[in-house]
């Protein structure tokens, strides 16, 4: 994700991680929710961050990228911290495999896959809607 703006624009658009973060923060502000954003290419760092945020966070928006096919630790962590999570992908396939085969899928409320300009906002809206319905 840190290089998303460097990938082929035809497949991933021209948004950078910084632009995505700013858009999500703006959306969160408009919805009256707080948002913490973290990016890492390290599975261990992601797991540690999720574990440390479990007492603060009410939900998780996560793009596991290729870890969705290789990680058993991430879905286990999501189940253990017991927070609603939405899995986001920028394409419906990664390396020729459909993201529907993600190992995280059973631990998430929903998967969202689509162009970068749409996937993250849609994922955040899905998570916020779920949290509000759960609260009502």
111 forms bridges with which residues in the sheet? 87
pLDDT at 95: 78
Helix (H) or strand (E) holding 134: helix 116-135
- Strand bridging mode 93-94 / 85-89: unpaired
Task: Kindly list the strands in the beta sheet with 85-89, ordered across the sheet, starting from the edge strand earlier in the chain.
Answer: 60-62, 85-89, 110-113
Domain boundaries, the chain: 42-135
pLDDT for residue 61:
96
CB neighbours (10 Å) of residue 42? 10
Cα 94 to Cα 14, 42, 100, 103, 113, distances in angstroms: 19, 18, 10, 13, 11
**Alpha-carbon distance 11 to 124, whole Å?**
21
What is the pLDDT at residue 132? 95
Write down the pLDDT at residue 2. 46
Look at residue 10 in the predicted model and tell me its pLDDT: 58
Global pTM value: 0.88
Contacts of 124 (CB under 8 A, 6+ apart): 24, 27, 28, 35, 61, 86
The H or E element spanning position 116 is helix 116-135
pLDDT at 1: 47
Q: What is residue 49's predicted lDDT score, i.e. its pLDDT?
A: 95
Query: What pLDDT does 15 receive?
Result: 74
pLDDT along the chain (136 residues), means of 10: 51 74 95 93 95 93 94 97 94 84 96 88 97 90
Task: Please say whether the dihedral angle defined by the alpha carbons of residues 56, 43, 22 and 102, taken in this order, is positive or negative.
Answer: negative
- What is the third-level CATH fold of 42-135? Rossmann fold (3.40.50)
In sequence order, what are the beta bridge partners of 113? 89
Q: What is the pLDDT of residue 115?
A: 82
């Amino acid at each position: 994700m840190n290089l998303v703006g460097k990938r082929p624009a035809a497949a991933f658009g021209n948004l950078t991680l910084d632009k995505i973060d700013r858009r999500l923060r703006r959306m969160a502000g408009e919805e009256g929710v707080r948002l913490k954003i973290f990016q890492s290419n390290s599975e261990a760092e992601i797991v540690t961050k999720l574990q440390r945020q479990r007492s603060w966070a009410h939900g998780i928006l996560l793009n596991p990228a290729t870890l969705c096919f290789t990680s058993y630790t991430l879905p286990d962590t999501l189940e253990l911290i017991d927070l609603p999570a939405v899995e986001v992908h920028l394409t419906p396939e990664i390396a020729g495999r459909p993201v529907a085969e993600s190992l995280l899928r059973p631990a998430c409320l929903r998967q969202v896959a689509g162009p970068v300009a749409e996937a993250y906002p849609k994922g955040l809206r899905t998570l916020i809607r779920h949290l509000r319905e759960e609260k009502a």
